[in-house]
Amino acid sequence: MDNTAIANFSAVGRMDILRGRYEGRLVVTREVLLEAGKGPRPEAIRQAIEEGWVEARPIYTDSEEHGVFVALRNRGFGIGEAASIAVCSTGETWVFVSDDLDARREARQRGVEVVGTYGILAREVAESRMSLEEGNALLRQMIAAGFRSHSDDLRKESERLKARR
């Protein structure tokens, strides 16, 4: 998960959505934590770590992940995005949560499943974890807090996701 997605959910006080969506197990890199600490509500991520459902994962200099991280940084990726892609693309099966289009494209090319803030909210609606009205209200709160979205309505995407199930 990268800083932008964490910031979107923490800005509206809804880290519970991420907790429920990822079954109480979310992994972020220390680099993302450094960025999130500068965000609008850094206490939300700190609380999640203290509660134990968010794990801060280091990248060790002698690891395969570090090599990927360095290569991505050299290509201009931000520290959080590079670290997150490196972790997601080497080893376990992860879902990379990011709103950065270049980072999402890179992760997909590496075979990593990708979703963004908008997609998470649409899935919550499609799976009846929240109503369309609640999802749209949250989306609009996130937009008001600075999230850039292609739409302020989850209807089409949530219906598309429902149809795929």
The DSSP H or E segment spanning 96 is strand 95-97
**CA torsion angle 140 142 143 144 (round to 10):** 90
Quick one: average pLDDT of 152-164? 95
- Clarify whether residues 95 and 19 are in a common domain: yes
Burial 64-90 (b: 16+ CB within 10 A, else e): ebbebbeebbeeebbbbbbbbbbbbbb
Predicted pLDDT of residue 121: 97
61-108: pLDDT as tens digits: 989 999 999 999 999 999 999 999 999 887 777 889 998 899 999 999
Domain check: are 31 and 105 in the same one? yes
Residues 73 and 136 placed together within one structural domain of the fold: no
Judge if 64 and 128 occupy the same domain. Answer: no
pLDDT (0 to 100) of residue 152: 95
Instruction: Look at the chain and report how many structural domains it folds into.
Output: 2
CB 89 within 8 A of CB 113: no
User: Which residue, of 93, 115, 137, is where some domain finishes?
Assistant: 115
Q: Residue 145 above 70 pLDDT?
A: yes
Q: Give pLDDT tens digits for 5-64.
A: 777 888 788 889 999 998 878 888 888 888 777 766 777 888 888 999 988 888 989 899
Do 104 and 130 lie in one domain? The reply is: no
Longest CA–CA span in the chain (Å) reads 48
| 68 plus 99 within the same structural domain | yes
Distance (Å, whole) CA 15 – CA 9: 5
